[in-house]
Amino acid sequence: MRLRVLFMVAALLLVTGCVPGSRGSQSLPPATGSTLTDAPAGQGAGDQSGAESTASPGSGQQASQPAGDTPANGQQPSGGQSTQPPGKTGPTGGQPAGGAGQPGTPPTSDAQPSPGAQPSPTTPAIPRLAILVYHDVGNQASGGYTISQTQLEEQIQMLKDEGYAFYRLADVERLLAGGEGMPAKGVLLAFDDGYQSFATRVLPVAQRFGVPAVCFMVTKYSDFDIFMGLPHMAQVEMQQVVASGLLELAAHSYDGHRTAPTADGTHGPVLLGPIRKPQSTLVETQEEYEQRVRNDFVQTARVLSDLNVGIGSRHFTFPYGLRSDLAVSLGREAGFQYFYIGTDQLVTPATDPGAIPRVHAGAPEITAEVLRDRLRKLFE
């Protein structure tokens, strides 16, 4: 009887789930503050493929793979679907990795990009140069060719702000030899005629800004001479300019910066053709013209040599910005190699050394803003 009662009690305990030690096997709701996240709407419990892993560092758990990314082991997610967007090619330019039923292939370190993905080689910009032409610099602007010192300073500051490189004559030679590795945009400050202001005003400004400049001189004139109504540099000032190491001197003819009556009765630059002889109605023969021009080149070259100007003795600016093939040929006989004219264009490696263009910048109406806009248009 007692055994029957004990059996019935045991059976009752089993039915009610009150067996000692069985409580630890029950599922408990997550505690408050758990890192588990709710499934997105429409996603069943345990379907967390789009959720980021919340495992803490050092927990030993693997971070879940974001949806659409190829797992680190190169295998596709279950179902065999490709994780690449439709229509995109793999890293080797073939079909998308891992088509239906195919595992994806992980990219390798030596995989080559497709032809369409090749980065286009960077083409170096062609170096270009604007040779800016000035004449005189005064305390105030006046006439058509004298700018104020303040105007020059403002132009130089603008050129620096715009990122132009400042050239020397040696840089011009290098540019015309090919210009490899030279800046994309440069300027050369060029002052014509040889006025005293190049030594008294341009030199201090150039030293303050740390920029070079060159003066193309009419070499016949020197101490206390007046040329075009303005004082010319004295011999000692020319020497100071050369000694500065910042400013350079070059040629603008010896006595060729003038016009004279020609055979047809008009006036023309004396370096470009036969002219009427002084106090006469006779016109030079072609031979006489060539000898006169040849002598002019030789004389200006001699003056520059005596001043030890260096490579400036290879550079010649034609008066009035006009040249002829014959005059260039005669200049080369005297040792000049680079000839400048005035066509408001830029210099490039393809420029003819016998016709190097320059840009007018030295008029009172050419403010820093006007010059800036003009150069932007030329360099665009």
pLDDT at 280: 83
**Does residue 330 sit within a domain?**
yes
CB 304 within 8 A of CB 251: yes
- Please give the Cα distance from 282 to 96 (Å, whole number): 90
CB 74 within 8 A of CB 103: yes
pTM value surpassing 0.75: no
CA 175 to chain CA centroid, Å, is: 15
Residue 361 has a CB neighbour count (10 Å cut-off) of 23
pLDDT at 122: 56
Which residue range(s) make up the domain with 323? 128-257+295-379
Q: Please write the tens of the pLDDT for every residue from 145-191.
A: 999 999 999 999 999 999 999 999 999 999 999 999 999 999 999 99
**Does residue 237 sit within a domain?**
yes
In the predicted model, what is the mean pLDDT of residues 32-48? 34
CB 186 within 8 A of CB 128: yes
pLDDT-above-90 percentage for the chain: 62
Residue 274 has pLDDT above 70, yes or no: yes
Residue 255 has pLDDT above 90, yes or no: yes
Pick from 253, 270, 272, 256: which is nearest to 326 by CA? 272
Q: Please write the tens of the pLDDT for every residue from 41-78.
A: 333 333 333 333 333 333 333 333 333 333 333 333 33
CB 341 within 8 A of CB 358: yes
Q: Please write the tens of the pLDDT for every residue from 208-233.
A: 999 999 999 999 998 768 888 899 99
- Please give the Cα distance from 64 to 242 (Å, whole number): 75
Burial label for 186, CB within 10 Å (0-12, 13-18, 19+), is buried
Q: What is the DSSP string of 266-290?
A: SEEETTSS-BBPTTSS-B--HHHHH
**Does residue 314 sit within a domain?**
yes
**Does residue 321 sit within a domain?**
yes
DSSP 8-state secondary structure symbol assigned to residue 223: T
pLDDT at 226: 87
Beta bridge partners of residue 186, listed in sequence order: 129, 165
Report the CATH number that the domain containing residue 323 is assigned in CATH: 3.20.20.370
- Please give the Cα distance from 54 to 177 (Å, whole number): 65
- Please give the Cα distance from 203 to 231 (Å, whole number): 16
Residue 19 has pLDDT above 80, yes or no: no
Q: Please write the tens of the pLDDT for every residue from 278-327.
A: 888 899 999 999 999 999 999 999 999 999 999 999 999 999 999 999 99
- Please give the Cα distance from 338 to 316 (Å, whole number): 6
CA 277 to chain CA centroid, Å, is: 52
**Does residue 176 sit within a domain?**
yes
Pick from 311, 296, 336: which is nearest to 242 by CA? 311
**Does residue 188 sit within a domain?**
yes
pLDDT at 263: 85
Instruction: Retrieve residue 236's tokens.
Output: 């000692």
Mean residue pLDDT of the chain comes to 77
Burial label for 315, CB within 10 Å (0-12, 13-18, 19+), is buried
Residue 197 has pLDDT above 60, yes or no: yes
pLDDT band of residue 25 (cuts 50, 70, 90) is very low
Beta bridge partners of residue 189, listed in sequence order: 132
pLDDT at 78: 37
C-alpha distances in Å from residue 223, one per residue of 184, 235, 242, 250, 326:
40, 6, 16, 18, 32
CB 165 within 8 A of CB 187: yes
pLDDT at 373: 98
pLDDT top residue among 375 and 8 = 375
Instruction: Retrieve residue 27's tokens.
Output: 């599922």
Q: Please write the tens of the pLDDT for every residue from 71-98.
A: 333 333 333 333 333 333 333 333 333 3
**Does residue 181 sit within a domain?**
yes
Instruction: Retrieve residue 228's tokens.
Output: 């075009």
Residue 118 has pLDDT above 80, yes or no: no
Instruction: Retrieve residue 364's tokens.
Output: 């009172």
Q: Does an H or E element contain 294, and which?
A: helix 286-306
Number of domains in the chain: 1
Outline where DSSP puts E strands in 139-295: 146-148, 165-166, 185-193, 213-217, 226-227, 230-231, 247-251, 259-261, 267-269
pLDDT at 123: 59
**Does residue 193 sit within a domain?**
yes
